[in-house]
Amino acid sequence: MDRTIAPAVTEVVEKRRETRHIWTLRLRFRDESLHRAYRFQPGQFNMVYGFGLGEVPISIVSDPADDELLDHTIRAVGAVTDGLCRLPKGAAVGLRGPFGSWWPMDEARGKDVVIVTGGLGCAPVVSAINYIMTRRDAYGAVKIFHGVKTPKDLLYRERFRAWQRTPNTEVYLTVDHPDRRWKYRVGVVTNLFEQVRIDPDRSLVMMCGPEVMMRYAARGLLAQGVAEERIYLSLERNMKCAVGFCGHCQYGPMFICKDGPVLRYDRLRPWFDIREL
Partner 1 sequence: MRVIDRSALDRLLEALRRQGYQLIGPTLRDGAILFDEIRTTADLPEGWTEEQEGGTYRLKRRPDRALFGYAVGPHSWKKYLHPPVRRLWQAQRRDGALEFIPEPESAVRYAFIAARACDLQAIAVQDRVFLEGRVVDPSYQARREGAFVIAVNCGQAGGTCFCVSMGTGPKAARGFDLALTEVVDGGRHEFIVEVGSERGERLLRESPGRAAAEEDRAAAARIVEETARHMGRTMEAAGIKELLYRNYDHPRWDNVAARCLTCGNCTMVCPTCFCTTVDEVTDLTGEHAERWQKWDSCFTMDFSYIHGPGSVRSSTKARYRQWMTHKLATWWDQFSYSGCVGCGRCITWCPVAIDITEEVRAIRDSEKSGG
Contact positions toward partner 1, by CB under 8 A?
1-2, 4-9, 51-55, 77-78, 90, 92, 94, 119-120, 210-211, 236-238, 240-241, 243-248, 250, 252-253, 255, 258, 270, 274-277
The whole-angstrom distance between residue 21's C-alpha and the CA centroid of its chain comes to 17
In terms of CB distance, is 78 or 110 closer to partner 1? 78
In terms of CB distance, is 1 or 37 closer to partner 1? 1
Helix (H) or strand (E) holding 28: strand 22-29
Smallest distance from partner 1 to CB 105, Å: 22
Smallest distance from partner 1 to CB 240, Å: 5
Smallest distance from partner 1 to CB 104, Å: 20
Using an 8 Å Cβ cutoff, are 169 and 144 in contact? yes
Smallest distance from partner 1 to CB 146, Å: 17
In terms of CB distance, is 53 or 222 closer to partner 1? 53
In terms of CB distance, is 52 or 167 closer to partner 1? 52
In terms of CB distance, is 56 or 114 closer to partner 1? 56
Helix (H) or strand (E) holding 250: strand 250-251
Q: Beta partners for 116? A: 145, 207
**Helices and strands per DSSP (H, E), number in the chain:** 7, 15
Smallest distance from partner 1 to CB 119, Å: 7
- Please tell me the total number of residues recorded for the chain in this structure: 277
Smallest distance from partner 1 to CB 69, Å: 18
In terms of CB distance, is 222 or 246 closer to partner 1? 246
In terms of CB distance, is 103 or 255 closer to partner 1? 255
Smallest distance from partner 1 to CB 210, Å: 7
In this structure, the strands spanning 92-99 and 45-50 are antiparallel
Q: What are the angstrom distances between the C-alpha of 253 and each of 3, 237, 256, 271, 273? A: 26, 14, 10, 9, 15
Give the Cα-Cα-Cα angle 21, 117, 154 (nearest 5 degrees): 40
Rounded to an integer, what distance in angstroms lies between the CA atom of residue 8 and that of residue 15?
19
Helices (H), the chain: 32-37, 79-86, 123-134, 157-165, 189-195, 211-223, 265-272
Rounded to an integer, what distance in angstroms lies between the CA atom of residue 206 and that of residue 268?
14
Answer positive or negative: Cα dihedral of 31, 34, 36, 41. negative
In terms of CB distance, is 109 or 248 closer to partner 1? 248
Smallest distance from partner 1 to CB 76, Å: 10
